[in-house]
Amino acid sequence: MIAGRSTRMEVLELLRRKGHASAETIASDLSVTPNAVRQHLTNLERDGFVISQPERRARGRPSLLFSLTERADQVFPKRYGQLATMVLQEVHEMGGEAALDEIFARVAARHAAVIEPDLDGLDFDAKLKRVVAWIGRAGTLAEQTETAEGVKVTIHNCPFRNTALKFPQVCTITPHLMSRLLDAAVSQSDSIHRRDPFCSFIVQRPNPA
């Protein structure tokens, strides 16, 4: 990420507004030297945030025009959580708790359908390991530990924390997902919605045949 009001960020913001510009135009607009701008552009192009292409002119040497790449979009402010909260609030007002429950159950079912083919033929422990790894790919810092009650799956980092604090139904995605994929009973132990520092779930091992 690029933070603060640095010249580097100002270059990106100017390119966002203009679409494309030369180093000379950027330098003029930002009241900095062309050499300083070129150094920033060189670094930004190296990091994959801008690309350059020659501007054909009727006379003289072609000038390089710089524009943003798709990757540059990540450095600008995002409000995904705020939008999700607004949408869920409207859903709640239209359909109540039942509508929210249905939405998150469907979300879990959709993800489970994607993962299920990769679990065919695996035993419980292999399935659980793969499911926890899949959950962890979302940046949840998920881990599993053996307890007297069952296998405890702990999520140390909730990517949807702010939304989950307002709508506890968000926390049902993981147990729905694990219950379907593992064909096991899953209960929640800790919950950030209850102001615990993390979320955790107890997965009951199947009874031996």
The pLDDT of residue 131 is: 96
Say which residue the tokens 């100017």 belong to: 14
Taking 70 as the pLDDT cut, the residues of the chain under it are: 1-5, 57-61, 208-209
User: Which domains are delineated in the chain?
Assistant: 7-75 (1.10.10.10), 80-203 (3.30.1380)
The pLDDT of residue 1 is: 40
The string of DSSP letters for 165-186 reads HH-GGGGGHHHHHHHHHHTS-E
Kindly compute the dihedral angle of the four CA atoms of residues 202, 163, 161, 134, in this order, to the nearest 10 degrees: 60
Could you tell me the pTM of the whole model?
Answer: 0.66
The pLDDT of residue 2 is: 44
Instruction: Give the Cα separation of 112 and 138 in Å (integer).
Output: 15
Cβ–Cβ under 8 Å, residues 102 and 77:
no
